[in-house]
Amino acid sequence: MSHAGSHASTIRTVRPKTLGCEECLETGQAWFHLRLCRECGHVGCCDQSPGRHATAHFHATQHPIIEGYDPPEGWGWCFVDETMVELPDQTPQRGPIPRYY
């Protein structure tokens, strides 16, 4: 695992915007695992989920760093460098997250 490198400045303490994948909750779609954007708090689903909304959020916003968030797992990933990154903290869940797998 590496440090966040040139993208470390984008890591913020965020409040998750939704209790589950934001887009899947809107459409009634299922997800497998959740990913939290550490720049803005968007909650999206992983690439094993049909929607792949965390990756779609990166492509739409260029926010580079996500946190494994189902439940909080403590690891980070940088889409730009395609590498695991160390996070300065873990984001606590703000309520029960429904399971859709």
Residue 80 has pLDDT above 90, yes or no: yes
Q: What is the pLDDT of residue 16?
A: 95
Q: Vertex 43, ends 78 and 96: CA angle to 5°?
A: 130
Gyration radius of the chain over CA positions: 12
Q: What is the pLDDT of residue 40?
A: 98
Average pLDDT over residues 1-20: 82
> What does the alpha-carbon distance between residue 9 and residue 3 come to, in Å, rounded to a whole number?
11
> What does the alpha-carbon distance between residue 18 and residue 15 come to, in Å, rounded to a whole number?
9
In this predicted model, what pLDDT tens digit does every residue of 48-66 receive, in sequence order?
999 999 999 999 999 999 9
